[in-house]
Structure 1
């Protein structure tokens, strides 16, 4: 797997329910390497740190292979890399083969696969319709957040190479399905609940369904 594009955002403001909201979802390609820090990508807008950035969402990756699906659905949008809000657009990234807790070499950084993206109202605003939220969930290919174990720079054409496979875990695709399933698979919850790559808030959310 290779990095196709590095993307960062400047703050963008819009009105939502008569309130001014600032977002960093409008990412654009950059022609210089980006630096992956422990809490975020240096120079990238993270407007609401309750739900973005931080240890388990330091950087967001999305597959270039999924772009045709979204372009076909929304052909009138201004398509550039970063359109799905990702910091890194990756060739051949496959959520069915990314396991929570896997460790990868990414440029000069070392990262750990953590959790899938859950779409929010800012994502809907960018696409111009709330329909995109359910479409994103139904499609299942969510991209993934990573935790930065060793900080470093990443540039286009760098490899995204697994150096450690986490056994007895769920794939990002499976975890995304689990999060939105009406009837939660308790076996899968048990499989993931103690994984150190999962934030405490999500563990608490999943433990609720074990009662």
Structure 2
């Protein structure tokens, strides 16, 4: 796994069904290294601290390989890096093979895979199409949240070097499927 893009976003107010909502989902690639801190990516807006950021969700990584699947379903969308709200666009993340607790050395940092991303309506706002939320739930292409065990900078081109494997733990995809079932989302 290798970072192909680092992405940050600013606070943005949007009109969602007549209500003004503040979001940080509009992330875009930056050319400079980003600093991964204990509870957030420095310079990246987190507008909903109840559901984003914090120790267990300080960094969100998403697979560039998944973009191909979504481009076929949404051919009119401009697929810029960060469109899924990810801080790190990674060349190939397989949620069915990454286990909770797996740990990686990346750039100056050490990251631990913690939990899955659960889509909300703001992903639909970003795509200008609410159908993506339900379609996202029906895949295992959820991306991975990471806990930052060692803070530091990462940049495009940095590789994920696995330093700890926790194969006895559930995969990120297992966690996502369990959450889908818990939420009563059917196929």
- Could you tell me the TM-score, scaled by structure 2's length? 0.94
1:57 equivalent in structure 2: 57
1:20-31 → structure 2 map (5 Å cutoff): 20-31=20-31
Question: When the two structures are aligned, how many residues end up with a matched partner?
Answer: 184
1:124 matches 2:124: yes
Q: Is the 8 A contact 2:108 2:151 kept in 1?
A: yes
1:18 equivalent in structure 2: 18
Q: State the distance in 1 between where 2:123 and 2:174 align.
A: 22
1:133 equivalent in structure 2: 133
Aligned-pair CA distance for 1:160 = 1.0
1:86 equivalent in structure 2: 86
Of 166-175 and 50-59, more deviation after overlay is shown by 166-175
The secondary structure found in structure 2 opposite 1:83 is coil
Greater fraction helix: 1
1:57-206 → structure 2 map (5 Å cutoff): 57-181=57-181
- Consecutive unaligned residues of structure 2, counting only runs of 5 or more, are none
The secondary structure found in structure 2 opposite 1:140 is coil
Q: State the distance in 2 between where 1:93 and 1:182 align.
A: 24
Q: State the distance in 2 between where 1:99 and 1:139 align.
A: 17
Q: State the distance in 2 between where 1:103 and 1:52 align.
A: 20
Q: Using CA pairs under 8 Å that are at least 6 residues apart, name the structure with larger relative contact order, 1 or 2.
A: 2
Structure 1 runs (4+) deviating above 3 angstroms are none
The secondary structure found in structure 2 opposite 1:139 is coil
RMSD (Å) for aligned C-alpha atoms: 1.4
Aligned-pair CA distance for 1:48 = 0.9
Distance 1:129 1:158, change over 3 A: same
1:14-51 per-residue CA deviation (whole Å, 9 max, x = no partner) reads: 11232211111111000000000001000001011011
Aligned-pair CA distance for 1:183 = 9.9
- Could you tell me the TM-score, scaled by structure 1's length? 0.84
Distance 1:20 1:171, change over 3 A: same
Q: State the distance in 1 between where 2:51 and 2:11 align.
A: 16
